[in-house]
């Protein structure tokens, strides 16, 4: 069998992964850019999105509505706010009290990771839960058929990314966020911006982006309480390789890593690929801390 | 006053992207003098001294200490060779006790049996013996300045570099400080960045004036007072420099140590 | 180190010597279950004590110290089962391997600071863990392997399967680690470490090389972690990948924070307390890690200095360095 269709499939799957990864990593990147903190619990908000999606979809099913499309839509609308609420509370009750000092914040987000993860384990159990895709079309690509839902995911993710970009560059809210990102002190003193509210909003938004990504992926992957760890690691890789604080870098890196993961796993064992990826992150941080597009180190 | 050159800056330049903070500055500090480095904000004084002590790498140029090229040496090595330095914003070890702060400074020079005595002596010399049992973070800013000075001098450096040491001190504290540094000047060569012209006139044997990264003028306090370029550079600039100009032109009345 | 009289000379060393003696004296009165726990806690406390030197004293938050625990564990375990080495030699090999790995990782990681340092250390540890899984032909991957009961050590008959002997060896190792930590912390090196935590530049401008001091803390903590790993393999007979996961890196942090970072005895106290807390919680739920998370958040919000650390700070007890 020749390589062509193989690579096409790998590319399509890679694009799917890149799309979801871009959304997830964007959340992490925004939080780091504006709050200057690393949220180790970021993957758990992703997981919360997926698990909440399952919960809502099953509630819809129990209410007697048989349409998977409606269940999925409900999940897409309601699950991210659930994750957002948890994030909002965490920011208000914990992070704000720590003044966002880097070391205590990291320790607190590690604690948060375990609390969310194990909390979900207690409430939902250790099994993987499925959610049905909203529709069942297949795209006929001559050599193989590909899921139309996956195409929809890619398109939706792209639209959402463009929307976020529009918000950041063309709206007042976006301007406020970017001003706070560039110089918090100035934003507060000169711009009269309530930076604490901005922090809360950005942290919540970051969590919700990850949650949306998870809702999109859950009909393909199933929800599981440990599913946050891989996206966390991958988001880290994307944000660091792309350059902390660079939006464009995040997107380009997500594309690179999503695509290469698909292609690499054709040739390498997945664990070996992961080993190389983690070492790559470490070495980039040591030797080229600004990543591909980020600002030079302070 | 001897004429051995202790510290030499040779054509030091430092660029930050497009900005030239220090532009081809050469100066020589002779052993025994008290050299003041003055200039308006942004003139490049702190950047220059940072290069002299090793906190910053020059874009080009060399630094020689006691005849030896130290341009490639990290700060810890330069301190080991005999430099001492205090920061513009005082840095001590806030979580450690006052005694431990001094001990860190002198543990490389004094064997452990003699340490208690050496620490007590250092505290005494700078008038902070009463604070010995306190945590350094609890001290007032003025006392922390003195502690930092005690630390920087603990190793008996041959060249002591002070970056705006009187900033943040009250008038009384400044007076006391001038006395302390005057005493130190008898044992150590001093390079002092200062904005306060009273202090400069009280302590300096020679003054170097930086302006927009370049060395504008150099000479005794009297020569600098009379220098037309210096007057021109500072007359009519921002209000904070008016006082500098006034002082220089009018000639601050305090005397200076004999040369 | 808290600035009080330097003439606290006698109380501190006596107190620290008394702790292992007290543990030994207490041992015969414990039930078998607690006796076994004591041995485990002591070995893990060696890991925590080493970690404390880097995190508590020098102020460097490594999130990847499970790598060195794992290196000691696997180095020793594989040396005994695959190379047939004498357990004492295998222990030295495992510890040495951990030391070497920590030297390499430290040299690279210390080129970064703050958040980047945390991530770099975490990534190297993750790579190590994944390598154990990937090359499972040698390491038996996730399952791990069992080490046959050790009966002779360095030619001397020493049954490490005997609980009392196991305890004695664990206590001896901990006492050694305690002694080393105490000596370093009370001396010139420890003072520079604490100073580095406050202001690296001020340290540098007093003539001390910060990189050398930081690397020393890194390697000593790596060696202690390796020793703990090697001891665990020999005493409890099991080598598994779970010890190299990020969970153990977090646990070291947790144990040190609970007991009191920057106190020599804090790590032992923290390890013991959390060991029992997790033990009790595991009786009720599989989600004991939730408690770990909650304790971390609680500590960071309410008691960042931990138990002994708060005492040391509040009351300026200089005999609790």
Half-sphere CA count of A36, side-chain side, radius 13 A: 14
Are C2 and B74 within 8 A, CB to CB? Answer: no
Chain B interface, best mutation among C3, C194, C203, by max B CB count within 10 A: C3
Neighbours of B17 (CB within 10 A): 6
Residues of A in contact with C300 (CB under 8 A): 98, 104, 107-108, 111
Only one residue has tokens 């006392």, namely: B143
Are B79 and C205 within 8 A, CB to CB? Answer: yes
Chain B nearest CA to C196, separation (Å):
9
Are C115 and A106 within 8 A, CB to CB? Answer: yes
The Cα–Cα gap between C2 and A153 comes to 59
What does pLDDT average to over chain A? Answer: 87
What per-residue confidence (pLDDT) applies to A237?
85
What per-residue confidence (pLDDT) applies to A7?
79
CB A291 within 8 A of CB A47: no
Residue C221's nearest CA partner among C158, C270, C177 is C177
Nearest CA in chain A to C125: A278
Neighbours of A139 (CB within 10 A): 13
Residue C1 has pLDDT above 50, yes or no: no
Residues ≥6 apart with Cβ < 8 Å to C263: C52, C56, C306, C308, C309, C312, C320, C321
Three-state DSSP class for residue A298:
coil
Residue C203 has pLDDT above 70, yes or no: yes
The Cα–Cα gap between B189 and B257 comes to 13
Neighbours of C32 (CB within 10 A): 8
Residues ≥6 apart with Cβ < 8 Å to C272: C41, C45
Which of 74-103 (A) contact C at CB < 8 A? 94, 97-98, 102-103
The Cα–Cα gap between A177 and C224 comes to 46
What per-residue confidence (pLDDT) applies to A260?
80
The Cα–Cα gap between A254 and A24 comes to 9
CA distances from B16 to A293, B19, B185, C229 (A): 19, 5, 34, 48
CB A242 within 8 A of CB A253: yes
The Cα–Cα gap between A90 and A88 comes to 5
Are C202 and B55 within 8 A, CB to CB? Answer: no
Are A110 and C134 within 8 A, CB to CB? Answer: no
Residues ≥6 apart with Cβ < 8 Å to B146: B126, B127, B128, B177, B180
Are C201 and B94 within 8 A, CB to CB? Answer: no
Are B135 and C3 within 8 A, CB to CB? Answer: yes
Q: Is C169 on the interface with A (CB under 8 A)?
A: no
The Cα–Cα gap between C305 and C52 comes to 12
Max mean pLDDT among A24-38, A108-122, A249-263, C126-140 falls in: A108-122
The sign one gets for the Cα dihedral A231, A237, A242, A246 is: positive
Are C300 and A281 within 8 A, CB to CB? Answer: no
Only one residue has tokens 């957002």, namely: A84
Neighbours of B222 (CB within 10 A): 12
Are C206 and B87 within 8 A, CB to CB? Answer: no
Only one residue has tokens 């690499």, namely: A264
Neighbours of B145 (CB within 10 A): 25
Residues of B in contact with C4 (CB under 8 A): 97, 133
Are C287 and A103 within 8 A, CB to CB? Answer: no
Residues of C in contact with A286 (CB under 8 A): 108-109, 111-112, 120
Chain A interface, best mutation among C54, C66, C114, C119, by max A CB count within 10 A: C119
The Cα–Cα gap between A208 and A227 comes to 16
Which of 76-135 (C) contact B at CB < 8 A? none
Q: Which residues pair with B218 in a beta bridge?
A: B208
Three-state DSSP class for residue C5:
coil
Q: Which residues of chain B have pLDDT under 50?
A: 1, 236-241, 252-259
Q: Pairing state of beta strands B19-30 and C156-157?
A: unpaired
The Cα–Cα gap between B182 and B190 comes to 10
Three-state DSSP class for residue A288:
coil
Q: Which two tokens stand for residue A18?
A: 């890149």
Nearest by CB to residue C301, choosing from A94, A126, A274, is A94
Q: Pairing state of beta strands B5-16 and B189-193?
A: unpaired
Are A275 and C127 within 8 A, CB to CB? Answer: yes
Mind listing the pLDDT tens digit for each residue in B85-109? 999 999 999 999 999 999 999 999 9
Residue A47's nearest CA partner among A213, A282, A220 is A213
Q: Pairing state of beta strands B34-38 and B189-193?
A: parallel
What per-residue confidence (pLDDT) applies to B238?
40
For residue A297, give the DSSP letter. Answer: P
Q: Is A111 on the interface with C (CB under 8 A)?
A: yes
Three-state DSSP class for residue C84:
coil
Nearest CA in chain A to C123: A278
Nearest CA in chain C to B161: C205
B-C CB pairs within 8 A amount to 86
**Structure ipTM over 0.90, yes or no:** no
Residue B155's nearest CA partner among B128, B203, B122 is B122
Are A286 and C287 within 8 A, CB to CB? Answer: no
Only one residue has tokens 């997107």, namely: A251
H/E run at residue C156: strand C156-157
Chain C interface, best mutation among B93, B114, B128, B148, by max C CB count within 10 A: B93
Are A282 and C120 within 8 A, CB to CB? Answer: yes
The Cα–Cα gap between B217 and B229 comes to 8
Q: What is the mean pLDDT of residues C129-141?
A: 89
Chain A nearest CA to C63, separation (Å):
10
Are C4 and B133 within 8 A, CB to CB? Answer: yes
What per-residue confidence (pLDDT) applies to C153?
82
- Residue C318's pLDDT band (cuts 50, 70, 90): low
- Measured between its terminal Cα atoms, the distance across chain B in Å is 7
| B5-250 CATH fold | Rossmann fold (3.40.50)
Nearest CA in chain C to A114: C293
Which of 198-227 (C) contact B at CB < 8 A? 198-199, 201-210
Chain B nearest CA to C318, separation (Å):
11
Residues of C in contact with A272 (CB under 8 A): 134
Q: Which residues pair with B10 in a beta bridge?
A: B62
Residues of C in contact with A108 (CB under 8 A): 296-297, 300-301
Are C290 and A119 within 8 A, CB to CB? Answer: yes
Residues ≥6 apart with Cβ < 8 Å to B248: B197, B224, B225, B230, B231, B234
The Cα–Cα gap between A109 and C35 comes to 35
Are C296 and A114 within 8 A, CB to CB? Answer: yes
The Cα–Cα gap between C212 and C189 comes to 11
Nearest CA in chain C to A124: C287
For the entire predicted model, the pTM comes to 0.89
CB A238 within 8 A of CB A17: no
Instruction: Tell me how many degrees the CA angle A181-A185-A187 measures, rounded to the nearest 5.
Output: 60
Domain boundaries, chain A: 26-227
- Exposed (0-12), middle (13-18) or buried (19+): which is A155, by Cβ within 10 Å? exposed
Residues ≥6 apart with Cβ < 8 Å to B125: B150
Tell me which chains share at least 3 CB pairs under 8 Å with chain C: A, B
What per-residue confidence (pLDDT) applies to C22?
94
Nearest by CB to residue B96, choosing from C3, C5, C210, is C3
Are C202 and B93 within 8 A, CB to CB? Answer: yes
The Cα–Cα gap between C64 and C119 comes to 9
For residue C28, give the DSSP letter. Answer: G
Instruction: Tell me how many degrees the CA angle C244-C250-C252 measures, rounded to the nearest 5.
Output: 85
Residues of B in contact with C213 (CB under 8 A): none
Domain boundaries, chain C: 20-244
What per-residue confidence (pLDDT) applies to C136?
87
Three-state DSSP class for residue C263:
coil
Q: Which residues pair with C145 in a beta bridge?
A: C239
Are C292 and A114 within 8 A, CB to CB? Answer: yes
- Exposed (0-12), middle (13-18) or buried (19+): which is B89, by Cβ within 10 Å? exposed
Are A285 and C116 within 8 A, CB to CB? Answer: yes
Chain B interface, best mutation among C207, C305, C315, C319, by max B CB count within 10 A: C207
CB A82 within 8 A of CB A119: no
Nearest by CB to residue C3, choosing from B74, B98, B154, is B98
Three-state DSSP class for residue A171:
coil
Residues of A in contact with C134 (CB under 8 A): 269, 271-272, 275
SS (H, E, C) chain B: CCCCEEEEEEEEEEEECCEEEEEEEEEEEECCCEEEEECCCCCCHHHHHHHHHCCCCCCEEEEEECCEECCCCCHHHHHHHCEEEECCCCCCCCCCEHHHHHHHHHCCCCCHHHHHHHHHHHHHHCCCHHHCCCEHHHCCHHHHHHHHHHHHHCCCCCEEEEECCCCCCCHHHHHHHHHHHHHHHCCCEEEEECCCHHHHHHHCCEEEEEECCEEEEEECHHHHHHCHHHHHHHCCCCHHHHHHHHHHHHCCCCCCCCC
Nearest by CB to residue C2, choosing from B97, B103, B108, is B97
Mind listing the pLDDT tens digit for each residue in A142-201? 778 888 899 999 999 999 999 988 888 888 888 887 777 777 777 777 777 778 888 899
Tell me which chains share at least 3 CB pairs under 8 Å with chain B: C
As a residue count, chain C comes to 321
């Amino acid at each position: 069998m020749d390589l062509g269709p193989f690579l096409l499939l790998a590319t399509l799957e890679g694009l799917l992964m890149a799309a979801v990864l871009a959304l997830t990593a964007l959340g992490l990147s925004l939080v780091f850019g504006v709050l200057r903190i690393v949220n180790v619990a970021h993957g758990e908000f992703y997981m919360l999105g997926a698990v909440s999606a399952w919960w809502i979809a099953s509630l819809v099913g129990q209410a007697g509505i048989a349409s998977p499309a409606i269940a999925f839509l409900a999940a897409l609308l309601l699950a991210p706010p659930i994750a957002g609420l948890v994030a909002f509370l965490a920011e208000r009750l914990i992070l704000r009290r720590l003044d966002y000092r880097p070391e205590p914040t990291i320790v607190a987000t590690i604690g948060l990771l375990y609390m969310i993860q194990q909390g979900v384990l207690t409430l939902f159990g250790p099994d993987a839960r499925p959610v049905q895709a909203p529709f069942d079309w297949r795209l006929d690509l001559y050599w193989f058929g590909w899921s139309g839902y996956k195409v929809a995911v890619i398109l939706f993710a792209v639209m959402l990314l463009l929307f976020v970009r529009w918000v950041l560059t063309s709206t007042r809210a976006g301007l406020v966020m970017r001003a706070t990102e560039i110089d918090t002190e100035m934003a507060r003193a000169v711009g009269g911006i309530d930076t604490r509210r901005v922090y809360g909003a950005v942290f919540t938004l970051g969590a919700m982006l990850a949650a949306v990504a998870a809702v999109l992926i859950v009909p393909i992957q199933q929800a599981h309480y440990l599913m946050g760890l891989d996206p966390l690691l991958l988001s880290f890789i994307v944000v660091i390789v792309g350059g902390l604080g660079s939006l464009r870098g995040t997107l380009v890196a997500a594309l690179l890593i999503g695509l290469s993961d698909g292609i690499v796993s054709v040739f390498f064992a997945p664990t070996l690929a992961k080993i190389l990826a983690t070492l790559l992150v470490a070495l980039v941080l040591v030797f080229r801390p600004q990543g591909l597009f980020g600002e030079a180190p302070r | 006053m001897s004429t051995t050159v202790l510290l030499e800056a040779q054509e030091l330049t430092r660029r930050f992207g497009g900005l030239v903070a220090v532009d081809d500055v050469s100066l020589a500090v002779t052993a025994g003098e008290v050299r003041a480095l003055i200039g308006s904000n942004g003139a490049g004084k702190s950047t220059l001294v940072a290069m002299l002590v090793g906190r910053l790498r020059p874009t080009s140029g060399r630094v020689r200490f006691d005849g030896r090229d130290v341009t490639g040496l990290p700060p810890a090595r330069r301190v080991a060779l005999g430099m001492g330095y205090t920061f513009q914003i005082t840095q001590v070890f806030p979580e450690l006790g006052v005694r431990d702060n001094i001990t860190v400074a002198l543990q490389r020079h004094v064997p452990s049996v003699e340490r208690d005595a050496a620490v007590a002596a250092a505290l005494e010399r700078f008038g902070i013996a009463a604070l010995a049992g306190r945590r350094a973070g609890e001290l007032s800013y003025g006392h922390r300045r003195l502690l930092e000075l005690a630390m920087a001098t603990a190793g008996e450096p041959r060249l002591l570099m002070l970056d705006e040491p009187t900033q943040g001190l009250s008038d009384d504290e400044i007076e006391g400080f001038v006395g302390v540094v005057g005493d130190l000047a008898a044992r150590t060569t001093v390079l002092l960045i200062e904005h306060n012209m009273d202090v400069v006139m009280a302590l300096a044997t020679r003054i170097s004036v930086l302006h927009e990264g370049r060395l504008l003028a150099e000479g005794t306090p009297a020569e600098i007072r009379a220098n037309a370029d210096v007057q021109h550079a500072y007359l009519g600039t921002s209000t904070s420099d008016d006082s500098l100009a006034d002082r220089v032109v009018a000639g601050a009345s305090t005397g200076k140590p004999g040369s | 180190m808290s600035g009080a009289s330097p003439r606290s000379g006698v109380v501190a060393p006596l107190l620290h010597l008394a702790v292992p003696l007290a543990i030994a004296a207490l041992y015969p009165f414990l039930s078998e279950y607690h006796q076994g726990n004591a041995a485990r806690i002591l070995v893990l406390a060696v890991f925590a004590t080493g970690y404390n030197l880097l995190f508590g004293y020098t102020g460097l938050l490594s999130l990847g110290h499970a790598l060195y625990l794992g290196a000691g564990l696997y180095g020793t375990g594989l040396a005994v089962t695959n190379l047939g080495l004498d357990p004492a030699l295998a222990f030295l090999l495992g510890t040495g391997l951990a030391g070497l790995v920590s030297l390499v990782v430290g040299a690279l990681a210390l080129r970064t600071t703050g958040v980047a340092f945390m991530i770099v250390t975490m990534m190297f540890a993750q790579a190590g863990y994944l390598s154990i899984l990937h090359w499972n032909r040698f390491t038996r991957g996730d399952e791990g392997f069992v080490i046959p009961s050790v009966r002779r050590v360095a030619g001397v008959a020493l049954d490490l399967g005997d609980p009392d002997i196991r305890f004695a060896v664990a206590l001896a190792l901990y006492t050694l680690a305690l002694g080393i930590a105490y000596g370093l912390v009370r001396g010139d090196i420890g003072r520079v470490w604490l100073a580095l935590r406050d202001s690296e530049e001020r340290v540098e401008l007093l003539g001390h090389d910060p990189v050398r001091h930081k690397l020393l803390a890194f390697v000593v903590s790596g060696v202690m972690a390796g020793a703990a790993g090697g001891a665990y393999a020999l005493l409890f007979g099991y080598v598994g990948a779970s010890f190299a996961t990020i969970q153990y890196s977090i646990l070291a942090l947790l144990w040190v924070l609970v007991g009191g970072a920057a106190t020599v005895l804090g790590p032992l106290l923290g390890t013991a307390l959390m060991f029992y807390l997790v033990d009790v919680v595991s009786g009720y739920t599989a989600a004991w890690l939730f408690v770990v998370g909650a304790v971390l958040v609680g500590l960071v919000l309410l008691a960042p200095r931990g138990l002994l650390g708060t005492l040391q700070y509040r009351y300026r007890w200089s005999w609790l360095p």
